Amino acid sequence: CEIIRVAVPNLESAKAITKIKKQIKIPLIADIHFDYKLALASIEAGVDGLRLNPGNIGSQLNVLKVVDAVREKKIPIRIGVNSGSLSKDCIKKYGVTARGIVESALEHVHILESAGYSEMKISVKASSVPLTIESYRLLSQKVNYPLHLGVTEAGTEVVGAIKSSVGIGTLLAEGIGDTIRVSLTADPIKEISVARNILKALHLRKGLEIISCPTCGRTQIKLIKLAHEVEKRLVEFKDKDLIIAVMGCVVNGPGEAREADFGIAGGIGEGLLFQKGQIVKKVPENLLLDELVALIRANVEK
């Protein structure tokens, strides 16, 4: 995790920002809705950024007070619009469409611009993956501000991870997006893992990558268990730019994973240990994991 966002529904929450800041070393973002005083209190407490839609905090005077405060502290604002928060006028004019979402976001952008502030980024999320993709594509054609990507209300761990990967991954592959957030109805730690793996899958972020086959009739070892154990044991190398292969048979294993730095190809009660597609040695099944870890440790600096 490189940025943390917290909801600030009341003044007590705003005051807690000071305590939180003392315990972390990464930027903290305050999520503000409707009450500009909460934005001011969060800024005073030392927050590093705001998630705030200026059209929702009352008069232009309120907006100017917030803008003056963020300008003084050099704090950016994220405008965050999603398909469930469109105004009645916007829905009446455009419906819940990509154009409606983007036009709603641009209304907030223009409010900040008219107040003389441009240190902002924008998000236009929807729970529908196609609508999210279409909205960001359209927005990217209209503004040069950084875009924060995400699929809102994506769902529980597995479904949410899939929707987020498809939505965020598609946009990143097209060169759209500057920051990302994966939203899951799950432990927030799971969100970080999915986000990092999206970036790694697109080669936008380095780090340990474990590739493994889906098993078939040739599989002679307990591959699923082994793959999970490899993942756990190699956490010490999580920041290393390594590809580790865990393959179920010796027929195609080394060949299919020749691009891997290190790997295992299972056999009947034994397996091959290989490095850069070359066989290192044959190892009994019960020693495969330990031997793989030892090989990596011997060749990679932590």
Report which residue type is found at 36. Answer: Y
The Cα 90–Cα 133 span in angstroms is 19
Residue 156: which residues within 8 A CB-CB, separation 6 or more? Answer: 184, 185, 186
Q: Radius of gyration over alpha carbons of the chain, in Å?
A: 24
The Cα 136–Cα 122 span in angstroms is 10
pLDDT at 302: 59
Tokens of 137: 């594509």
Partners of residue 212 on adjacent β-strands: 246
Q: pLDDT truncated to tens, each residue of the chain (302 aa)?
A: 899 999 999 999 999 999 999 999 999 999 999 999 999 999 999 999 999 988 888 888 999 999 999 999 999 999 999 888 887 888 889 999 999 999 999 999 999 999 999 999 999 999 999 999 999 999 999 999 999 999 998 889 999 999 999 999 999 999 999 999 999 999 999 999 999 999 999 999 988 999 888 888 778 788 899 899 999 999 989 889 999 999 888 776 767 767 789 998 888 888 889 898 888 999 998 899 999 999 999 998 75
Residue 16: which residues within 8 A CB-CB, separation 6 or more? Answer: 45
Tokens of 170: 């598609």
H-assigned helices in the chain = 11-22, 36-44, 60-73, 88-94, 98-114, 129-140, 157-173, 188-201, 223-233, 253-256, 288-299
Instruction: Quote the pTM value.
Output: 0.88
pLDDT at 197: 93
The Cα 4–Cα 229 span in angstroms is 30
Boundaries of every domain in the chain: 4-201, 209-299
**Model confidence over 205-227: pLDDT tens digits?**
988 999 888 888 778 788 899 89
Q: Does domain 209-299 have CATH number 1.10.3720.10?
A: no
Which of 180, 105, 108, 166 has the alpha carbon at shortest distance from 140?
A: 105
pLDDT at 295: 93
The single-letter DSSP state of residue 153 is T
Calculate the alpha carbon distances from 286 to 215, 245, 289 in Å: 19, 17, 7
Q: Does domain 4-201 have CATH number 3.40.50.2300?
A: no
Burial of 62 (0-12, 13-18, 19+ CB in 10 A): middle
